[in-house]
Amino acid sequence: MHTTAEYRLTDSPWFWGLLFSAMALVSLALIAPKYDRRQGQIEGRYLGRSQLAAERARRAAGLEPTSLADDTVAMDEASRSRLIPLWPIAIAAAGAAATCGWMLQREIRRRAAA
């Protein structure tokens, strides 16, 4: 004899997808300020090393040396746009949350109609 079990929300994979993607969004919101500071430091070092390598190449080619201080960028200006931003991850997590929420609602309606 086969009995149908009562439907539990936690049995749905869409529920877990929604929960994890929502937690990803919350985590991104909490980590964003720290990420911005750390990423700014990393990108600053990267840009400095890139300029230094370009200057060394200029000098090795026999061109006139230039001052690296002339090409520096203010930290406020540099922090406006990161080379590796967080927004693509946030968009992916929001899209996953929206899709999982829609599919969960669809599943709940289907089970209620049955």
For the record, the structure tokens of 3 come out as 């009995």
Phi-psi region of 62 (alpha: psi -120 to 50; beta: other; left: phi over 0): left
Residue pair 85/40 in contact by the 8 Å Cβ criterion: no
pLDDT single digits (tens) 34-86: 999 999 899 889 888 988 898 888 888 887 877 766 666 665 565 567 888 99
Cα separation, 90 vs 113, whole angstroms: 34
pLDDT single digits (tens) 33-48: 999 999 989 988 988 8
List the domain boundaries for the chain: 12-113
Give pLDDT, residue 1: 43
Q: Among all chains, which residue has been given the structure tokens 């997808």?
A: 17
Residue pair 19/109 in contact by the 8 Å Cβ criterion: no
Q: How large is the average pLDDT for residues 94-102?
A: 98
